[in-house]
Each structure stands twice: as C-alpha cells, then as structure tokens.
Amino acid sequence: MRLLLVEDDPTLRAQLHAALAEAGYAVDEADNGRDAQHLGATVAFDAVVLDLGLPQLDGLSVLRGWRDAGLTLPVMILTARDGWHEKVAGIDAGADDYLAKPFHVEELLARLRALIRRAQGLASPLLQCGALVLDTRSGRLSVDGQPLVLTGHEFRLLAYLMHRPGRVVSRTELTEHLYAQDFDRDSNTIEVFIGRLRRKLPPEAIETVRGRGYRLAASA
C-alpha cells in the first residue's frame, strides 16, 4: 500500500514516516500544500495523512481541490486537539476521518487500516481468500492456519491483492501502489516477487490473466 504523508513539522514527519514504513507502507512525503495537491492529483495513493496547517496552501484547500477534481482517495486529516471547528470543516470538505494532535501512532495505524479496507468495501480486519488469511491488525499471514513468512516486498504485494479479491490487477498498478516515488523500480521487479510468492503459496493461488495482470484466485 502506498501512502502520502503531508506534514510540515520535520520532526513529526520523520517519526510518522518511520512508523508507517515499519508497518509495511510505501510512503511519499510533502511538507507544503502546493506539493501535496500536485502529488495527490497525479499519483495513485491508497490513502493520505493530511495536516491542515500547511504553508503555501492550507490542508482544507488541498482537500477541497482533490474532491472538486473528483478524486476519491481516502484522506485522514490531522487537527489540533481543541480545533473542533477544523474537524467539522475537514469532514465537510470531504475528509474520511480525523485525528487530533497529539495522538498515539498505534491509533493512526488502526484508523488507516480501516480507511483502506472501507475503500475496497471490506469490513473485517481479517481478509480471507481460500486457505489464505491476512490479519490486517497484526500483519500476520497464514495458510491453513500455518504462519506464512514473507519478505517486506512480498507481503506488500500479497496484501494488495488480498485487499482486491477477485479483481485483476495490472503490473503497472502494482508498481504504482507498492513503491514510493524515490524507489529504484526495475521493470522485472513485480515478476520476481510474483515468482517468489508462487513458490510459497498453494498451487495456482495467483493467476496470470494474459495481457491484463494478476488475480488472487478465490480458491487460493
């Protein structure tokens, strides 16, 4: 999953980036509203963490610009603890959730997981596809109840497919959503990780749909 983190405080931004990366997300950053608005409009993100008090262009204006342009990406706004009016304005502008500063990183991660699930029409934190089960709360994968050990890249790829059950996902989409902007992307990277996953998963778990991409089989 690929996230956009928009925060002008360098210390908080670095802390959040580290926590999100450790949780398995690919993270892009912006420290001002102008860059945030451009990135959100041109890059495919699975969710955005958006501070409202930004230089150059405030967070509410950024959010309204995205919604006016028809962008439906999930957005969580960060507000001051006593800024109830900002919370109301943010929700009215199209925010999907809000979190008041200061906050616990664990709560931020839990809310993001819920936002991403809801965006795909998934309610339960347990994602299941046949014998495959992903607990989005702990990040644990299992096959027939047995733990499945994956590398970070393998986990992100499989988790992305499990959030889109039965849907064909192109190689381009996978590349856009699994790697941050500064990652050195090789054209064969996705195929390499698909091959590694197939050696660890039940036979035929990942289908290749010729000319279109990959799909996690319903009977995986």
Split into its structural domains, the chain has a count of: 2
> What amino acid is encoded at 110 in this protein?
A
Using CA atoms, how far apart are residues 191 and 175, in angstroms rounded to an integer?
A: 11
The whole-number pLDDT of residue 146 equals 92
Q: Do 144 and 37 lie in a common domain?
A: no
Residue 137 sits in the same domain as residue 76:
no
Can you name the residues that pair with 6 across neighbouring β-strands? Answer: 30, 50
Contact of 160 with 1, CB cutoff 8 Å? yes
Same domain, 74 and 174: no
What pLDDT sits at residue 220? 52
Are residues 161 and 105 part of one domain?
no
Measure the CA–CA gap between 172 and 63, rounded to whole angstroms: 26
Q: What is the CB-side half-sphere exposure of residue 84 using CA atoms within 13 A?
A: 0
Exposed/middle/buried for 61, CB within 10 Å: 0-12, 13-18, 19+?
middle
State the pLDDT at residue 13.
96
195 and 106 co-located in one domain = no
Model pLDDT, residue 20: 96
Q: Are residues 8 and 110 in the same domain?
A: yes
pLDDT digit string, tens, across residues 22-46: 998 999 999 999 999 999 999 999 9
Amino acid at 198: R
pLDDT at res. 50: 97
- Picking from 119, 149, 169, the residue at the C-terminal end of a domain is 119
Q: State the pLDDT at residue 139.
A: 85
User: Is 145 in the same domain as 202?
Assistant: yes
76 and 146 in one domain?
no
**What CATH number is attached to the domain comprising 166?**
1.10.10.10
Which pLDDT belongs to residue 105? 95
pTM over the 0.85 mark: no
Q: What is the CATH number of the domain that holds 38?
A: 3.40.50.2300
CA distance 220 to 143: 9
Same domain, yes or no: 20 and 39? yes
User: Of 69, 85, 119, which closes a domain?
Assistant: 119
Exposure string over 154-191, b if 16+ CB within 10 A, otherwise e: bbbbbbbbbbebeeebebebbbbbbbbeeeeeeeebbe
pLDDT of residue 177: 87
Beta-carbon contacts of residue 40 (< 8 Å; ≥ 6 apart): 4, 48, 62, 66, 71, 73
Shared domain for 110 and 196, answered yes or no, is: no
| Spans in the chain with pLDDT lower than 70 | 81-82, 182-187, 218-220
**Of 94, 119, 144, which residue is a domain's last?**
119
Nearest to 179 by CA among 201, 205, 160: 160
Q: Which domain holds residue 63?
A: 2-119
pLDDT attached to residue 120: 87
- 74 and 145 fall within a common domain: no
Q: 13 with 46, same domain?
A: yes
